[in-house]
Amino acid sequence: MIELVDLRYVHLGSSSAVDASKWAQEIYGLEEVAQENGRIYLRGDDRDHNICYYDGDPKDNTVGIEVLDYDALDQAARHLEANGVKVTWGDDEGAIVRRCMKYLTFSDPTGNKFDLVVRPFASGRRYFPSRDAGVHWFNHIGLKTKDAPRDEKFWCTLFNFTANDWIGDAPLMSFDKVHHRFALFPTNEAGVQHINFQVKETDDLMRSSYFFNDRQIRIVFGPGRHATSGARFLYFEGPDGMIYEYSCGVRMIEPEEEWKPRQFPFTPDSFCVWGSKPDIPEFKD
């Protein structure tokens, strides 16, 4: 079992990294941390970075997840290889790009790309948002899956993930007390399906919904409230068609709580208890 300790970042190919960074600052409310290594690094919390854009194929996405130390990384490599998962060790140059001490790469059965990192960089400076959106924490991602039960088994047997709820076949899974860190949504390709940052309160979501309407930013779902995690949410379209989300009040499941995962049907009511209808392909029947 590979013990993950954190979800760290998403690196995203972009048709224009400069334009994507401008959007992420002016619209999403992130802080640009650095432009180096041919990449642009941004963040929405006090860690080094959570999002990184580079000029490249927008379908080329890599998710950074963290293990505790070097021994854990060695053990993870052995465990993945023993289970038939191809592992590629990272080099020094790759570690500089990822802003961590050491890493390896692998893919899930759908073909989603992951960096397993050790000691990703912290930051000596606190997060200073570029817009008052209320963003304060990089929280979770949606991932595309070609076979949700297969990929759920991959994450829940090789890693310390457990499914806390399902909507249809889509598992909402976590390795810590956050209700979900990965949510797997069935489709026919690999890639990051959406990116979530937590905002502080419902007022932030409502303020942003009016801010987006004024600027012709396409809201694709919400404002609403998830039946599963209880989070209030707002989904909208960013550069290269990527879906970004704000949410607040995501359910925390404490270890002592005897949480029983629930099966929701794949219907709009399971995604939103307020009645908002998604305009997101993976959330529709």
Bridging pattern class, strands 61-67 and 113-118: parallel
CB count in 10 Å sphere of residue 269? 11
Instruction: Find the residue with minimal CB distance to Fe ion.
Output: 196
Smallest gap from residue 37 Cβ to Fe ion (A): 29
Cβ neighbours for 44, distance < 8 A, ≥ 6 positions apart: 28, 29, 30, 31, 50, 51, 127, 129, 135, 136, 137, 138, 197
- Residue (108 or 245) nearer to Fe ion, CB: 245
Nearest Cα to 97, choosing from 139, 7, 35?
35
| Three-state secondary structure call for residue 229 | coil
- Residue (45 or 245) nearer to Fe ion, CB: 245
Site stretch for Fe ion (CB under 5 A), options 43-51, 98-106, 237-245, 254-262 = 237-245
Site stretch for Fe ion (CB under 5 A), options 18-26, 160-168, 193-201, 260-268 = 193-201
Smallest gap from residue 140 Cβ to Fe ion (A): 6
- By CB under 5 A, is residue 228 in contact with Fe ion? no
- Residue (99 or 232) nearer to Fe ion, CB: 232
Which residue is associated with the tokens 């020094």? 92
CA distances (Å), origin 75, targets 68, 82, 89, 116, 271: 11, 10, 13, 12, 37
Smallest gap from residue 138 Cβ to Fe ion (A): 12
CB 250 within 8 A of CB 242: no
Smallest gap from residue 11 Cβ to Fe ion (A): 19
Site stretch for Fe ion (CB under 5 A), options 23-31, 57-65, 152-160, 190-198 = 190-198
Number of residues this chain uses to bind Fe ion (CB under 5 A): 2
Q: Out of 174, 196, 228, 276, which residue is the one contacting Fe ion (CB under 5 A)?
A: 196
Name beta bridge partners: 248: 232
Give the type of residue at 198: Q
Bond preceding residue 268 cis, omega within 30 of 0? no
- Residue (97 or 208) nearer to Fe ion, CB: 208
- Residue (99 or 140) nearer to Fe ion, CB: 140
- Residue (67 or 280) nearer to Fe ion, CB: 280
Tokens of 252: 């925390």
Smallest gap from residue 250 Cβ to Fe ion (A): 9
- Residue (90 or 223) nearer to Fe ion, CB: 223
Nearest Cα to 28, choosing from 198, 188, 142, 161?
198
Give the type of residue at 279: D
| Residues of the shown chain interacting with Fe ion in the complex, contacts defined by CB under 5 A | 196, 245
